[in-house]
Amino acid sequence: MTDTNGANDFIHVFEPGTDPARPPLLLLHGTGGDERDLLSLGRTVAPGASLLSPRGKVLEGAAPRFFRRLAEGVFDEADLRRRTDELADFVLKARERYGLPAPIALGFSNGANIAAALLLQRPEILAGAALLRAMKPFARAPRADLAGKPVLLLSGALDPIIPAANAEELAGQLTAGGAVVEHRVLPAGHGLGQADLALLGDWLARI
């Protein structure tokens, strides 16, 4: 069963899970994606998990995103902070509506960046996060209590968008907050490959 109704005016899809032992996944697409972009990925790496997948409300041309940017790799941090709170409030309402525990965020690119922002700005919203090709969302990160939260960060050594040092700084910020961070750098670019899926599926099975 899928549900595409809006809650807190986010267009979204909800697919109820069949395995109550698996935490739900909050699927957060990259620039130009939509609420259906990561559904097949979610089903593949976490079979039986409930899937909650909103569409970003910011348009860059015709491409949906979760927050504004001023240029490639330069974020509008005022908009990011507002959109992070907006997404956090949506997750809380969706949890109540669908009867869900705190989800694990699974985000790619722009979706991974706002998932990282959720961890740092509203840490109570997520049980953990898988951040695929993420960069640090804030120049100065808020202090967050992330004690024990599992985080997987998958970076590409050949990624033309995200400098290696930036991803390392994000891993450091999350670790400083107490998160249990597993950071893997793959011989890949910005796109995802089979190695990402294998690592992601293994990590989700372990947490």
Whole-angstrom distance, CA of residue 77 vs CA of residue 117: 10
Q: Identify whether the C-beta of residue 138 lies closer than 8 Å to the C-beta of residue 155.
A: no
Residue at token pair 């998160």: 179
- Partners of 156 in beta bridges: 186
Is 159 considered catalytic here? Answer: yes
Name the active-site residue from 53, 109, 155, 196: 109
Token duo for residue 105: 């965020």
List of E strands, 36-192? 51-54, 58-60, 63-65, 69-71, 74-75, 104-108, 128-132, 150-156, 180-186
Name the active-site residue from 159, 183, 196, 202: 159
Whole-angstrom distance, CA of residue 80 vs CA of residue 88: 12
Is 190 considered catalytic here? Answer: yes
Residues 6+ apart with CB under 8 A from 162: 73, 133, 134, 135, 155, 156, 190
How far apart, in Å, do the first and last CA atoms of the chain sit? 26
Whole-angstrom distance, CA of residue 117 vs CA of residue 123: 9
The catalytic residue positions are: 109, 159, 190
